[in-house]
Amino acid sequence: MEKKNIDTEILNKANIWLNGNYDQESKAAIQHMISNDPQELIESFYRDLEFGTGGLRGIMGVGTNRMNKYTVGMATQGLANYTLKMFPELDQISAVIAYDCRNNNTYFAQITADVLTANGIKVYLFDELKPTPELSFAIRELKAQIGIMITASHNPKEYNGYKVYWNDGAQLINPHDVNVVAEAQKITDIDDVNFKGNRSLQTSIGEEIDKKYIAAVKALSLSPEIVKKHQDLKIVYTPIHGTGVKLVPMALKAFGFKHVYNVAAQDVVSGNFETVKSPNPEEPAALKMAIDKALEIGADLVMATDPDSDRVGIAVRDDKNEFALLNGNQTAALLTHYLFIKWKEKGLLDGNQFMVKTIVTSELLIDMANKYKIDTYDVLTGFKFIADIIRQLEGKKKFIGGGEESYGFLVGDFVRDKDAVSACAMVAETAAWAAEQGLRLWDLLKQIYLEYGFYYETLISVVKKGKAGAEAIQAMMLDYRNNPPKSINNSDVIAIKDYQKQVYFDLKNNKESKIDLPKSNVLQFFTADGSKISVRPSGTEPKIKFYFGVKTTLEKVEDFDRVHTQLKERIEKIIESMQLR
């Protein structure tokens, strides 16, 4: 592709960088792309990296559509402007900044700190990498007005990101999210960004916050006496090169577990994630080294957290004494089951408790809550919406726990985001509680299915990268919305939930009703045979996600394998009928 064939708008944006107050290294990279890699130039400049409602996330590099000093600086200037407007009564506004193991993380964290302090905002900057939930905790502990987490979560190594939190310790929601975005969009010239930080307004934090956070996690324990009896439970844990390397073992030790084994090669903090293709605990390959270690030492439980330690994947011993990977719905079911039983045993249920899940998470959690007469709330995908319900009900009702299918769970309310540190400790405690009854977690899961029905869920993601991919995903959603399937896997579609239109279509009775949730580009199809299919573009990755949920009865434990196979086959037929294979 020659220069003359590159879109004029893209060339104009590149020329702004070539002629503006940008560093020479960036300018040289742009010149190289123009001469040698015009496709990369297009991908780097075809749009501005969105400072969306969850912050920034993108590939690191030069250009308006990349994570770099300038896109981070402009976003931070917009955030600073909005924060100063929102707290005019305060003599000193403060922010907390944390970062994970990503490449350039201390660099981006310091740029963020410099822009904030240059605007008169006091910054508490962690002295080393820390989990996202600890950032949430620190915001509330230090009574800060905002927080920023430099992370791209489980994205591939070329990505980085920037998540923004408000003074309640939760990620931004309406109206703050859209207002911060609006302020950031006003910063159209790099000369509008004040990069000249005031280091006298910057304070280093670390160990003291660690101790307070771990103390809060320890207070969640519901069965300390049972943990003491089963303290020799063998646990293998891997942080997959990320922030859990220090805090998760600390939490397990605080709970009383004596035999926690790390995977040495994955304890190495690295943004290159050398030992895995993807640092995502949803991917079986990410847990392979930990499972190998567990087989070697005869461990009972395997746990892995993603780079910023807000999500956890687990593997448990099955009937063949081999390790079976549990999905996020199954882990949430085990934790919810344990929490509800212990709260009831301790006489803590008085009808004033609640749990929250996301709309794409298993309906099994609703069935559990109904049994114990615990209020339930379904929210849009994203833990910030769970945190919003907690905030709304603070002082009115008591939050027990809640989660989402994407391996995120939260116990207690001192953190306002998913928390893999406390989740790891509670999974281990649940395993100890099961052991007290002569059960493994795998057996406990079967007991849950016997009682409530065998729920089986899975998802597939269709990746569509770059400009063409974004357009293809948009076209797919438009087609599903305008031409919804009449049947899926030979079962009639009897209801549709369109969260963009905020309408529930009851096709069986030809009725419509309003969905009382914020607008979101999500569609759900419900079929006559009880299947639930959800479709949504990812808000953080170049993919469109399809969630599948089916259910049947499990009459006896001996039927588990047969019924499990039937449900898996049913989902495969759904996928085939939707032409996704």
Question: In the 8-state DSSP scheme, what is residue 50?
Answer: P
Side by side, the strands of the sheet bearing 94-99 are 56-59, 159-165, 146-150, 94-99, 122-126, 202-205
Question: In the 8-state DSSP scheme, what is residue 524?
Answer: E
Neighbour tally for 580: CB within 10 Å: 12
3: amino acid identity, one letter:
K
Neighbour tally for 459: CB within 10 Å: 18
Known catalytic residue at 153:
yes
- The span from the CA of 121 to the CA of 123, in Å, is 6
CA 308 to chain centre: 9
Catalytic-role residue among 136, 153, 270, 406: 153
Count helices and strands in the chain by DSSP H and E runs: 19, 23
The answer to whether the bond into 484 is cis (omega within 30° of 0) is no
Side by side, the strands of the sheet bearing 408-411 are 375-379, 353-358, 398-404, 408-411
CA 467 to chain centre: 24
Alpha helices in 394-527 (DSSP H): 420-436, 441-452, 466-482
- The span from the CA of 149 to the CA of 164, in Å, is 7
**H or E element: which one contains 534?**
strand 532-537
> Tokens 């974004």 belong to which residue?
470
Q: Structure tokens of 451?
A: 């009682």
Q: Structure tokens of 442?
A: 């795998």
Query: What count of residues does the chain have?
Result: 581
- The span from the CA of 286 to the CA of 579, in Å, is 28
Task: Tell me the catalytic residues.
Answer: 153
